[in-house]
Chains A and B, each alone.
Chain A
Amino acid sequence: MKKLKYISYIIIMVVLLTVSAQTALAASSTWNGTVGGVSVTAQKTLLTGANGWTTYLYSRADQNINIIGYTYWTLEQYCISSGSTVYWKNYSGDYDTNDSYYSTSAYISYRTCSGQSRYKSHGNHDFAYGSQHKYPYVKVTVTR
């Protein structure tokens, strides 16, 4: 099951990178560390398409840990020409217990803008194992 999750993750990343090279803009930001001696990775990816943008949040661990997920996740479209936030949403957090992988995603249609927009996906991930708890902050932005 765990291997299947990793393979799914790899397939998703291959898809994103391949697509980004051909049709869209994509960016990814990653934090690597350990919690209670277990290697963990926090990652966010943002991909722009014709009609909207998609962002993915991944929290991964080398083995099952007590808590894996995120504590908050904020998505934003900032129109640079008007200097204003035209879309904003905050998710207050979610997690799985005794698992090694957590992922979620969101698709948001574009709001129009007289110049470029900056799309931002950011927030703290959530990892706990043994007596240690970590909340790495990861931010990814794309300007289009």
Chain B
Amino acid sequence: MYKSKQKWLIEIIFLIALVIISTGVFVSHPTFASIYPQLFSRSNQNEPKLDPTSFSAEDLSTNEASEMVQNSLKQWEEKILKGGNWVHLLYQINSEIDNRVILPDGKSMPSSYLEEGWYFINENGLVEKNLVTLKDEFETIYQQSALSGSTEYNLTFEDKLDDVEPYKLKLDRGFTQYLMEIDALHIPVKYIDTTNNNKSIKEFSFEEIYETPIQENQIAKPIQSAVVVGLFDIETGQMMMYRKLLKCVTGEQMLFEEWHLLLAETLPDAPTSVLDVLENVK
């Protein structure tokens, strides 16, 4: 019994020591490379490979970049997120990676599609109601969902999610959050002022290079790095495009996700067809 107690005591001391040491190590080295390098540790040894014609490129810290992005978005939000109005957004979403979603008819959902959303903005600037449709260019619906009250109904899967609170529409679809979360990794962000179809554009790009290749669940080959690009309209602040390429250790590149904002408008009313759907799901 005594020996057993002594053994337990040693084990407890060992565990406490382990926790203290681990915490100390991680506080001073937030990437904790020695434990899970393949998942969390990144390196900035190699510069992002950018368009060689982009002679006006400059390096920014992720902090500087996210501040610029937030300023652009603020400008865009002030224009488009008007309380008591509807925001209508249409995105083209492209990917070369299978999303593995099986629709109720047994068919796979394509990895490229249109996402059309009608969002009612309340006086606090939050989305209170919406109707969002994932579809193709011929109006074939893959998934459709309606938020009404605090319940969101996926009309395709006949599923519902309760207790959904009014939410802030992310007009950058998470790009700013991405920049802020990689700040600790000290990855340089390339910034370029450029033009596209006579529009003045801000282009932000960066490359996360993994010290140890990541085994991504959706791709057979290990991933060496992710190359991310975001484009903003200088005049309006609107985020127009996002692209994330994954580079395999074999040198292949795959388009993980790309989106283009095709249409953005603010209207006092949504079409009757949209209001009818929302009315019927109550």
Contacts and interface: CB of A to CB of B under 8 A. Distances in A.
A113 B173 contact: yes
Interface string B96-133: 00011110000000000001010000000001001010
B39 A50 contact: no
Given A51-B178, A81-B130, A86-B99, A14 B22 contact: yes
Nearest to B259: A112
Given A83-B132, A83-B145, A116-B167, A108 B216 contact: yes
Interface residues of A, number: 37
B169 interface: yes
Contact of B99 (A15, A22, A88, A115): A88
Interface in A100-118: 106-116, 118
B12 to A, nearest CB: 12
Interface of A is mostly: mixed
Interface in B141-184: 143-147, 152-154, 156-157, 161, 164, 167-171, 173-175, 178, 181-182, 184
Given A80-B152, A111-B257, A115-B169, A86 B127 contact: no
A132 interface: no
B132 A84 contact: yes
Nearest to B146: A83
B249 interface: no
A52 B216 contact: yes
A109 B132 contact: no
Contact of B181 (A15, A50, A85, A106): A50
Given A51-B226, A84-B143, A108-B216, A114 B169 contact: yes
21 contacts: A10-B18, A11-B22, A15-B22, A18-B26, A49-B39, A78-B161, A81-B117, A81-B132, A82-B117, A83-B143, A83-B153, A84-B145, A87-B218, A88-B99, A108-B217, A108-B218, A109-B216, A111-B99, A113-B174, A114-B169, A115-B169
Interface in B173-204: 173-175, 178, 181-182, 184-185
Contacts of B174: 110, 112-113
A23 B42 CA distance: 14
Interface in A75-95: 75, 78, 80-89
Nearest to B157: A85
A95 B27 CA distance: 36
B262 interface: no
